[in-house]
Chains A and B, each alone.
Chain A
Amino acid sequence: MEFDPFLLARLQFAANISFHILFPTITIGLCWVLFYFRLRYTFSGDKAWEYAYFFWVKIFALSFALGVVSGITMSFQFGTNWPGFMERAGNIAGPLLGYEVLTAFFLEASFLGIMLFGKDRVSNRTHLIATALVAVGTSFSAFWILSLNSWMQTPTGYRIEDGVFFVESWWEVIFNPSFPYRFAHMFTASLLTAAFLIMGISAWRAMRGVDGPATWKVMRTGALMAAVLAPLQVFIGDLHGLNTLEHQPAKIAAMEGVWETEKGAPLTLFGFPDEEEKTTHMAIKVPNLASLILTHEWEGEVLGLNEFEGESPPVAPVFWAFRVMVGIGMLMVLTGWWSAWRLFRNRDENRETQTWLLRALSVMTFSGWIAVLAGWYVTEIGRQPWVVDGLLRTADVVADHSSATVAGTLFGYVLLYLFLLVSYIATLRYMATKPARSLTLTPQQRAMNDAETAEGEA
């Protein structure tokens, strides 16, 4: 089977960005959670919050490192694989990425050192501020990169001369129509991912009886976040969808599997989209619901894929990814409410009576990852065949490498990423079974501690 380099380049970018996004998704949200732990400790003096901070800051550090190194890869990918994009849209993409480096990358990378290792070297207040600055840095980073991504989805504020984009208004470029929705959606997704991660790992610790003083406190923090943010995310997602309908109707048509424009369109809950025959097999449909959701009118008109001949995205992946995202979102709402109810009622901290909740939460540990990936597949595959929606085709900006070159490096990346992903999850598991304080001791120190304990017991 002959692979064309264009497909391989897309797969490579997809592999890189999919691996990369896992870690910022955790760190953007987790950093604010850490700041919250740190604040709680500062104001209450309760050692449990300090313990929570130092347990989670290690997981944060590991996730952050994975995010940084895979992010460096991303910054090179534009040039190595998509040179045409920078040549054509560099006047717009360049400064946005530049501001990300200048306002976010250095801020987070620099103060991370203090956040991780500086507790004894700076005052409590400086340490608190350093933690806040890292959180601000990660959020700035999300701001700029999502602004660029949104501009590629809904370009405004530009003019084109000889195929090259020039900026007319920076305000319109940065705050393009889909940006506020995408930023809110992703930021909330990040907080939710962090919420389910901290709940999941805490639940796992509780089940195995290796919980420290903060485990249930952390679980309750996560439950509260999930109970509030998951329904909020459904609402934001709906707004984002309506915004997409206005600006990228082809993407919506693919998400909903609407082949022909119709009034009072039914909502396809499930089915197998078939692009050859332009139909969805075995579709389970709810009459008029798609029109109601999308246009907020019973008989509203929904544009079908037939309107976008040759300019519509591949249907099946978008259709499926959307259902995965929504499905997990719904699960998150239910789990969020359930865990808030179970954990706050009587503040029950008994693993015997909470068995089912703890199991469910452990299973949901990485649910945020799946939902985020699915969501990004919807929006990115849904933008195809364009790299800048309606203006610049992805196929026109790809680098001219041989299939063998791209396939070889793709293979290398995939192997490396699988290895790292397995290592990451295995390490989280390992860390979750250890009480926090032993994690940073060297073998010598640990031996000394053991000796001291033995002496004390004797």
Chain B
Amino acid sequence: MDLGYWLPLFFAGAMGLALLIYVILDGYDLGIGILLPFANDDEKDVMVAAIGPFWDANETWIVLGVGILLIAFPQAHSIVLTSLYLPVTLMLMGLILRGVAFDFRVKAGDKHKAKWNRLFAFGSLAASLCQGWMLGAFVTGLTGDATSTLFAALIALALPALYIMLGAAWLLIKTEGELFNKAVRWGRMAVLPMGGFLLLISIATPLVSSTIADKWFTLPNAIGLMPIPIATALAYAGLIWVFNSKQILHNGYGWLAFVALMVLCVLASIGLAYSLFPDIVLGQISIWEAASATESLLFTFWGAIIALPMILGYTIFIYRVFRGKATHLSYE
């Protein structure tokens, strides 16, 4: 078996998976952060309680994603992060603010709580916008010309919409009563903009990148790809249905909305992976050109195949421990 061929492929897959998990998991807690200003004080506490035990580990997935980029594809890591210097810096500042606001809001005393709530929401929104911007710039191969910038701006708006949906769907799982009803309203309001963005991006992507257009619209691949848009449309329809069906929502099946969003995220990332492959930076460098030395990849590979199942195992354990509706967080 040719390790020099398979290991970069494995790590590209692992990186994609880590970033997909990041978008879904940190997506819901960033989304809840963005929604925070629309809730009353009591609801704010419950919303934070709904993400309290999880956000730390959720955020670790982006470290893993960027970590794999760094470990396995150091050449690409340099290109990507130096090109995205500004959005990365702003995203980091956003993540810093929201991460610490989480703790400060309950510990710094009541008179500072409102300030930290605002910083929590602001940081969440800033981080989400910047992540969208980064994704948009990345998809267009980091060229930085006018159309690509416009496209990046489009995704910069789309990603927070997705995160808001994830946040609202997460609240359907974790809350009840008036906050639950609010989450339903938030979801109904955000679902159309999110769908609109999704559609716009799907139209814009092949227009912005001819490489991607070729991959999408050449036969017979185009036929093989058809299941992706069809499944996406179905999942989106399902999402709207869940948010508008009283039977589903009030019989405890609100989690279906989260599942529909997960399906959307998975489909989008399959589409993205297909569009980029075999390049890691579109049109600039392939995963094999960017890869580390095989012996370095192999050393990390053994660690990864032992550690990743363990990480998934105890992540599931944590979600089981904290299953059910969220109440006020208490340390004691």
Tell me, in angstroms, the Cα distance from A113 to B315 when the chains sit together: 11
Check: A370 CB closer than 8 A to any chain B CB.
Answer: no
Contact of A412 (CB < 8 Å), options: B69, B89, B311: B89
* B85 cross-chain contacts in A, Cβ below 8 A: 80, 399, 401, 405, 409
A94 pairs with B59, CB closer than 8 A: no
Tell me, in angstroms, the Cα distance from A273 to B71 when the chains sit together: 41
Contact of B304 (CB < 8 Å), options: A58, A66, A102, A399: A102
* A399 cross-chain contacts in B, Cβ below 8 A: 78, 82, 85
* A413 cross-chain contacts in B, Cβ below 8 A: 89, 93
Check: B318 CB closer than 8 A to any chain A CB.
Answer: yes
Interface of B, helix, strand, loop or mixed by DSSP: helix
A114 pairs with B53, CB closer than 8 A: yes
Check: A390 CB closer than 8 A to any chain B CB.
Answer: no
Tell me, in angstroms, the Cα distance from A5 to B54 when the chains sit together: 39
* Interfacial residues of chain B within 6-56, with CB under 8 A of chain A in the complex: 41-42, 45, 52-54, 56
Number of A-B contacts (CB under 8 A): 233
* A106 cross-chain contacts in B, Cβ below 8 A: 57, 60, 64, 307, 311, 314-315
* Interfacial residues of chain A within 44-58, with CB under 8 A of chain B in the complex: 54, 57-58
B52 pairs with A113, CB closer than 8 A: yes
B96 pairs with A94, CB closer than 8 A: no
* B296 cross-chain contacts in A, Cβ below 8 A: 90-92, 94-95, 166-167
B71 pairs with A76, CB closer than 8 A: no
A98 pairs with B52, CB closer than 8 A: no
B295 pairs with A167, CB closer than 8 A: yes
Check: B308 CB closer than 8 A to any chain A CB.
Answer: yes
Q: How far is the CB of B293 from chain A (nearest CB, A)?
A: 5
Check: A65 CB closer than 8 A to any chain B CB.
Answer: yes
B82 pairs with A80, CB closer than 8 A: yes
A417 to B, closest residue via Cβ: B96
A166 pairs with B293, CB closer than 8 A: yes
* A17 cross-chain contacts in B, Cβ below 8 A: none
A122 pairs with B321, CB closer than 8 A: yes
* B308 cross-chain contacts in A, Cβ below 8 A: 102
CB 8 Å contact bits of B317-331 with A (1 = contact, 0 = none): 010011000001111
Given contacts A431-B107, A442-B45, contact A94 B52 (CB under 8 A): no
B311 pairs with A102, CB closer than 8 A: yes
Contact of A94 (CB < 8 Å), options: B70, B100, B311: B70
Q: How far is the CB of B193 from chain A (nearest CB, A)?
A: 29
B93 pairs with A98, CB closer than 8 A: no
Contact of A58 (CB < 8 Å), options: B84, B89, B107, B315: B107
Tell me, in angstroms, the Cα distance from A95 to B308 when the chains sit together: 15
Q: How far is the CB of A212 from chain B (nearest CB, A)?
A: 13
Determine, out of A188-196, A293-301, A354-362, A422-430, the stretch whose residues face the partner at the interface.
Answer: A422-430
A109 pairs with B81, CB closer than 8 A: no
CB 8 Å contact bits of B236-277 with A (1 = contact, 0 = none): 000000000000000000000000000000000000000000
Check: B2 CB closer than 8 A to any chain A CB.
Answer: no
Interface size class of chain A, counting residues whose CB lies under 8 Å from the partner chain: 35 or more
Given contacts A73-B96, A83-B82, A423-B108, contact A98 B330 (CB under 8 A): no
Check: B145 CB closer than 8 A to any chain A CB.
Answer: no
Check: A400 CB closer than 8 A to any chain B CB.
Answer: yes
Q: How far is the CB of A329 from chain B (nearest CB, A)?
A: 30
CB 8 Å contact bits of A418-458 with B (1 = contact, 0 = none): 00100100110011000001011011110000000000000
Given contacts A119-B332, A416-B93, contact A66 B74 (CB under 8 A): no
CB 8 Å contact bits of B63-76 with A (1 = contact, 0 = none): 11011111110110
Q: How far is the CB of A136 from chain B (nearest CB, A)?
A: 13
Tell me, in angstroms, the Cα distance from A426 to B321 when the chains sit together: 33
* B70 cross-chain contacts in A, Cβ below 8 A: 75, 78-79, 86, 90, 94, 97-98
* A107 cross-chain contacts in B, Cβ below 8 A: 314
* A102 cross-chain contacts in B, Cβ below 8 A: 64, 303-304, 307-308, 311
A167 pairs with B64, CB closer than 8 A: no
Tell me, in angstroms, the Cα distance from A170 to B300 when the chains sit together: 11
Tell me, in angstroms, the Cα distance from A119 to B64 when the chains sit together: 28
A76 pairs with B92, CB closer than 8 A: yes
Tell me, in angstroms, the Cα distance from A83 to B42 when the chains sit together: 46
Check: B175 CB closer than 8 A to any chain A CB.
Answer: no
* A121 cross-chain contacts in B, Cβ below 8 A: 321-322
Check: A69 CB closer than 8 A to any chain B CB.
Answer: yes
A101 pairs with B93, CB closer than 8 A: no
Check: A13 CB closer than 8 A to any chain B CB.
Answer: no
Contact of A118 (CB < 8 Å), options: B64, B75, B82, B322: B322
A442 pairs with B42, CB closer than 8 A: yes
* A54 cross-chain contacts in B, Cβ below 8 A: 331-332
Tell me, in angstroms, the Cα distance from A427 to B311 when the chains sit together: 33
CB 8 Å contact bits of A97-136 with B (1 = contact, 0 = none): 1110111011101111110111111100000000000000
B298 to A, closest residue via Cβ: A95
Tell me, in angstroms, the Cα distance from A330 to B107 when the chains sit together: 34
Check: A207 CB closer than 8 A to any chain B CB.
Answer: no
12 more A-B contacts (CB under 8 A) besides A65-B99, A113-B52? A58-B107, A61-B103, A66-B100, A79-B66, A91-B295, A91-B296, A94-B292, A94-B300, A110-B57, A122-B321, A399-B82, A416-B93
Sample 20 A-B pairs with CB under 8 A, ordered by A number.
Answer: A57-B331, A62-B104, A65-B99, A73-B92, A78-B70, A79-B78, A80-B85, A80-B89, A90-B292, A91-B296, A94-B74, A95-B71, A101-B67, A106-B64, A110-B315, A122-B321, A166-B296, A412-B93, A416-B93, A427-B108
Q: 4 closest A-B pairs (Cβ-Cβ)?
A: A79-B81, A90-B74, A113-B53, A83-B78
